[in-house]
């Protein structure tokens, strides 16, 4: 094949119904139907509602994504196999199998976290300057820092496809902690963007909250202690005394403790593993305080940082699945028996997903 492969990717692991078409690492379309409004009244993702919404929207999302090309031009179909909500993953897998069989295309199973990990390698129609333009080269070992609503992970990238998880959360993910603390403060869902905006006008030194895992040598994360500390602190202050400035100060103090703990682990991982580059992914990277501190650490250690070129690539989307699928396509890692491909809700990046 003279040109790079064209891949249709489908992602339904959580609460976004998504499909994308990529040409190599270049994004031709990236369609996301967000279910946030459906889950908002419940303050979190309700799996049965997610499944139904995926079923209702998957066809229109895929049909919109395919528009820049046509079915025959596609070289492969890719789909998120896990990790994620089992009944949500199922919807995307079923659709991908149908398309692969109907148009006789190979199928590629992708790990959702590999999508987040490689999301910064996606290109738009121009070369993304942060990716070094046409001469961009990923250097190994690289270090992935993935911070999302479902996961918080530090990953050593020995090569693309060869990963070692250096640390992960022992309880809540960072995004989940943002969402839960927002709930305690009576703010909306998802809480991350709301807290980060409020924090801009707040004083982070106002409340003394513990920085999680500050003394631990491990590279794991834990946010439940911080969450409980927030709960107790809030119990001391009656609702009528919580004015706008109070909420801003509390948001800033919480955000600061959480960011410090992530940055601390990042520093430790850089000191231990000497990566050439840091790859960032996941919705919480939208948090400017976090991103600024990560960049500062990277400068200090003279490591380059790769961030996806658009915010849309940080939260769940199918274009990042397409980028991961592109490398699998090059390695010819296709699903051998389409009928056997099943959802893998607890898939880990260290597992070799080649079925």
Binding of residue 168 to ligand KG4 (CB under 6 A): no
Site for Zn ion in 94-153 (CB under 5 A): 148
16 binds Zn ion per the rule CB under 5 A: no
Q: How far is CA 76 from the centre of its chain?
A: 23
Q: 35 to each of 46, 130, 148, 222, 227, how far by Cα in Å?
A: 10, 31, 16, 28, 26
Of positions 286, 304, 310, 348, contacts ligand KG4 by CB under 6 A: 286
- Under the binding rule (CB under 6 A), the answer on residue 106 touching ligand KG4 is no
Q: Which does 287 bind (CB under 5 to 8 A by kind): ligand KG4, Zn ion, none?
A: ligand KG4
Q: Is 14 in the site for ligand KG4 (CB under 6 A)?
A: yes
- Given candidates 82, 83, 144, 150, which one binds ligand KG4 under the rule CB under 6 A? 150
Cα-based distances in Å from 171 to 13, 29, 150, 177, 353: 20, 35, 10, 10, 25
Query: By the 8 A CB rule, do 150 and 116 touch?
Result: no
Is position 201 annotated in a ligand binding site?
A: no
Site for ligand KG4 in 179-218 (CB under 6 A): 179, 190-193, 196
Structure tokens at 305: 């940082």
* Strand spans (E) along the chain: 6-11, 16-23, 26-34, 76-82, 107-111, 142-147, 152-159, 162-168, 277-281, 304-306
Minimum CB distance to Zn ion smaller for 22 or for 119? 119
> Number of residues in contact with ligand KG4, rule: CB under 6 A?
19
- Interaction with Zn ion in 316-355: which residues (CB under 5 A)? 316
The verdict on 83 binding ligand KG4 (CB under 6 A) reads no
Q: Using CA atoms, how far apart are residues 293 and 184, in angstroms rounded to an integer?
A: 26
Closest distance between ligand KG4 and the C-beta of residue 199, in Å? Answer: 9
Render the burial of 59-71: b for 16+ CB within 10 Å, e for the rest: eebbeebbeeeee
Residues 6+ apart with CB under 8 A from 307: 120, 130, 280, 285, 291
Which is closer to ligand KG4, CB of 196 or CB of 256?
A: 196
Number of residues located near Zn ion, criterion CB under 5 A: 2
To the question of whether residue 156 is assigned a binding role by annotation, the answer is: no
Binding interface with ligand KG4 (CB under 6 A): 14, 148-150, 175, 178-179, 190-193, 196, 282-284, 286-287, 315-316
Annotated binding site for Fe cation: 112, 116, 316
């Amino acid at each position: 094949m003279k040109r790079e492969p064209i891949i249709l990717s489908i992602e339904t692991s959580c609460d976004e119904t998504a499909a994308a078409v990529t040409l190599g690492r270049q994004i031709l379309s990236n369609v996301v139907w967000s279910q946030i409004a459906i889950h908002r009244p419940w303050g979190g993702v309700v799996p049965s509602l997610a499944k139904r919404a995926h079923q209702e929207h998957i066809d229109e999302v895929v049909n919109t994504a395919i528009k820049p090309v046509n079915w025959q031009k596609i070289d492969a179909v890719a789909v998120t196999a896990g990790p994620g909500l089992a009944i949500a993953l199922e919807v995307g897998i079923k659709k991908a199998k149908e398309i692969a069989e109907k148009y006789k295309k190979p199928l590629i199973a992708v790990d959702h976290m590999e999508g987040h990990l490689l999301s910064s390698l996606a290109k738009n129609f121009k070369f993304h300057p942060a990716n070094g333009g046409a001469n961009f080269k990923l250097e190994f070992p690289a270090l992935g820092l993935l911070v999302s609503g479902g996961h918080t992970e530090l990953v050593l990238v020995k090569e693309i496809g060869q990963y070692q998880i250096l640390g992960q959360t022992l309880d809540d993910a960072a995004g989940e902690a943002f969402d839960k603390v927002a709930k305690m403060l009576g703010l909306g869902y998802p809480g991350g963007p709301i807290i980060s905006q409020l924090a801009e006008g707040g004083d982070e030194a106002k409340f003394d909250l513990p920085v999680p895992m500050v003394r631990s040598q491990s590279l794991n994360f834990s946010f439940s202690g911080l969450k409980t500390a927030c709960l107790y602190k809030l119990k001391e202050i009656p609702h009528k005394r919580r004015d706008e400035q109070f909420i801003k100060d509390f948001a800033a103090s919480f955000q600061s403790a959480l960011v410090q703990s992530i940055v601390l682990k990042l520093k430790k991982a850089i000191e231990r593993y000497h990566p050439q580059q840091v790859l960032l992914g996941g919705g919480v990277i939208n948090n400017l305080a976090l991103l600024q501190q990560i960049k500062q650490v990277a400068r200090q250690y003279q490591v380059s940082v790769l961030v996806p070129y658009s915010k849309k690539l940080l939260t769940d989307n199918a274009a990042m699945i397409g980028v991961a699928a592109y490398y699998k396509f090059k390695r010819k890692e296709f699903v051998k028996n389409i009928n056997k491909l099943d959802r893998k809700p607890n898939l880990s990046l260290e597992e070799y997903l080649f079925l």
